[in-house]
Amino acid sequence: MKIWEKDIPLNKQVEQFTIGRDPEFDMDLAPFDALGSMAHATMLGEVGILTESEVKDLLTELKKILQDIEDQSFAIDPGMEDVHSQIEWQLTQKIGDAGKRLHTGRSRNDQVLVDLRMYFRASIKELMEDTSALFETLLQQSERFQDILIPGYTHLQAAMPSSFGLWFGAYAENLIDDIRQWNAVLEIINQNPLGSGAGYGSSVPLNRKRTTELLGFADLDYNVVHAQMGRGRSEMFMSFAIASTANTLSKLAMDVCLFNSQNFGFLKLPDAFTTGSSIMPHKKNPDVFELIRAKSNLMSQLPGSILGMIGHLPSGYHRDFQLLKELIFPAIESLKDCIELTRLAITEVEVHEDIMKDPRYKLTFSVEVVNDMVSKGIPFRDAYQEIAKQIEAGTFEAPQELAHTHEGSIGNLCNDAIREKFQKVWRQIDFSFEEKLAKLQQ
């Protein structure tokens, strides 16, 4: 069934082509379509479009549909175009004309928009909570291994002493910036488009602020054309945040693959996170992190793919937007998986001590000696030249101790300050929409 269908024969090949994978991805939207319909029905009753009895019947049946969705007994029947058609059909079958009257004052366009906004909003919350858990794991590992030195690299050349404390802590603090970006996207997403119709409003006397309140949106997309233009832009903003977090995971995964290799030998992955070779008995391959790296790199390309699809469209709805689900929905699930697998593996990773005693890393201490000479009054350039001569002559001796005291250095990780920075950002996030949705379902 198509809610737009008329008494005109449809070409089945065209029909299948235009429906595409919508029924598959619309299952993720199902609970939000029911919730959006509950808010819309409530509002239509308050403005006198629906009777009190019709609203009661609609809410009762929509709550049953929500329960079916939660129990995984809800399905989009063969021949149904999408979740919106399925729910409207079920309501009509159960309560008659009230099911048909529910669509008054809205288009499938704003129905999809509100479903997507609510789905994205819930996904952002889950992704931010997963990222928070990874942040805490990284910071704990930073504190646990803070005194174990490793080489720091520039140009993939051993450059200066670093530490596992710095390495783990760097990625933890990186995630704070990712959380900031997610929060910015949440603020954009958390605006109500319902009531914008096909993008040009309605002559029905809707109360759009009421549905905003019922659905827990922080604000209203006032201009109806602007609201409709949220289709595509919402996915675009989501893609930037996905790409940002994916970039953090990709770089971390690449480091792990390097550090786990025999040539580096800085850390060892738990056996459960490695795979073997079909012919080499000694091999333990970091396949989990290689896949995290590959999946993350694919997600990093998402903004370009989405902008390539929508970048040259004029205002108004276009069927092109339908294909955005095929890009953004799998990316959201992939990112969740990558964050969780990274957290699990990092929790169990083993680090090797005494790495810096290897003669290969002796020269990474050269800057320490230069700085020590400078602290005794020798000009930096003179000290630099002196140590360079010692290195060339093979007489350079590395110091036994380091004296890094400034904020964020090996000897002063500032992890407490990093944790406070995270908490400050976290306190700015508004997840109150969950309480509003719970109230709507009572």
Encode pLDDT of 336-350 as tens digits.
Answer: 999 999 999 999 999
CB 271 within 8 A of CB 284: yes
Task: Report the CATH number that the domain containing residue 140 is assigned in CATH.
Answer: 1.20.200.10
Mean pLDDT across the chain, nearest whole number?
Answer: 92
Looking at the fold, whether 339 and 376 belong to one and the same domain comes out as no
Active site residue 432: no
Cα 399 to Cα 60: distance, rounded to the nearest angstrom = 76
* CATH number of the domain where residue 88 is located: 1.10.275.10
- Residue 212 in domain: no
Judge contact between 76 and 86, C-beta under 8 A: yes
Domain-located, residue 345: yes
Identify the bridge partners of residue 152 per DSSP, sorted by sequence position.
Answer: 160
258 and 319 fall within a common domain: yes
| Per-residue pLDDT at 4 | 45
Whether the Cβ atoms of residue 278 and residue 228 lie closer than 8 Å to each other: no
433, 347: one domain: yes
The total domain count for the chain is: 3
User: Which single residue is written with the structure tokens 């024969």?
Assistant: 9
Residue 410 in domain: no
Q: Which of 53, 261, 277, 375 is labelled catalytic?
A: 277
Q: Residue 325 carries which side chain, given as an amino acid letter?
A: K
Of the candidates 37, 73, 84, 155, the residue annotated as catalytic is: 155
387 lies in the same domain as 339: no
155 annotated active-site: yes
Q: What gap in Å lies between CA 223 and CA 206, rounded to an integer?
A: 14
Q: What is the mean pLDDT of residues 298-323?
A: 93
Q: Kindly report the CA angle at 10 between 6 and 16, in degrees rounded to 5?
A: 120
Q: Are residues 229 and 333 in the same domain?
A: yes
Token pair of 390, please?
């010692």
pLDDT digits (tens, 9 = 90+) for 354-380: 999 999 999 999 999 999 999 999 999
Establish if 409 belongs to a structural domain: no
Do the domain assignments include residue 79?
yes
**φ, ψ of residue 265 in degrees (nearest 5):** 65, 35
Cβ atoms 349, 141 nearer than 8 A = yes
Say if 154 falls within a structural domain. no
Residue range 17-66, pLDDT digits in tens? 666 677 778 899 999 999 999 999 999 999 999 999 999 999 999 999 99
Q: How confident is the model at residue 417 (pLDDT cuts 50, 70, 90)?
A: very high
For the record, the structure tokens of 373 come out as 């000479």
Residue span of the structural domain in which 370 resides: 359-393
Q: Are residues 275 and 127 in the same domain?
A: yes
pLDDT tens profile 247-299? 999 999 999 999 999 899 999 988 887 766 556 656 678 899 999 999 999 99
CA dihedral defined by 282, 288, 292, 294, rounded to 10 degrees? 50
Q: What is the pLDDT of residue 26?
A: 87
In tens, the pLDDT along 132-147 reads 999 999 999 999 999 9
What's the whole-number mean pLDDT along residues 193-199? 95
